Amino acid sequence: MTRLIAFNKPFGVLSQFTDGGARPTLAGFVAVPGVYPAGRLDRDSEGLLLLTDDGRLQARIADPRFKLAKTYWVQVEGIPEPAQLAQLRHGVMLNDGPTLPAEADMMAPPALWPRDPPVRFRKSVPDSWISLTIREGRNRQVRRMTAAVGLPTLRLVRWRIGDWTLDGLPTGEWRQI
């Protein structure tokens, strides 16, 4: 029987089970033998990480050829202008080439767990939240996309992969799907 686990990865945790240093890894949270991450989530990003013991399923989730939609809730510095959201929707030119078009919309600040450490607050610079759905998986792609349109990322939470979401899953916890 295939195992599929949804894990709400906290900020600062590596998307792997071992590390040569003393950084926190998945091993400190998921004590299920034989499962491996289907894709990666940067150490300074939070949210949904899927783990499975099925190599074919792992490839289907992680491989950009399958264009599985991934939705991120992104706290950005500044208030997006319609033109900035339009740029994200049409695709952004990055140093490794253009991105595919994304779904990009303003959103109300979500009711999330506190981040440790908290995001730096600056009275003189407003921040806001956008929902960004991409169908690629380049290294630090969401952060690079928002920066390319003049909206640096402050906090990045992956909320959805395909039909799977974080709904009801506290940070640092996992559930069998």
Architecture of domain 4-64+167-176: 2-Layer Sandwich (3.30)
- Given this model, what pLDDT does residue 67 score? 80
40 or 106, which is more confident: 106
Q: Which pLDDT score is estimated for 65?
A: 79
Q: What angle do CA 26, 32, 38 make, to 5 degrees?
A: 60
Whether residue 7 contacts residue 29, with contact meaning beta carbons closer than 8 Å, is answered with yes
Give the tens place of pLDDT for each residue, 76-125.
Answer: 999 999 999 999 999 999 999 999 999 999 999 999 999 988 888 777 88
Task: Tell whether pTM > 0.85.
Answer: yes
pLDDT > 90? residue 62: no
Longest dimension (CA), the chain: 54
As beta bridge partners, residue 37 has 51
Give the pLDDT confidence score for residue 118 in this predicted structure. Answer: 85
pLDDT of 122 reads 78
pLDDT band at 137 (very low <50, low <70, confident <90, very high): confident
pLDDT at 66: 80
Quote the CATH superfamily of domain 69-161.
Alpha-L RNA-binding motif (3.30.70.1560)
Please say if the pLDDT value at position 10 is more than 90. yes
**Reported confidence tier of residue 28, pLDDT bands at 50, 70, 90:** very high
Q: Where are the domains of the chain?
A: 4-64+167-176, 69-161
Rg, Å, the chain Cα set: 16
**What amino acid positions are annotated as catalytic residues?**
42
pLDDT at residue number 93: 96
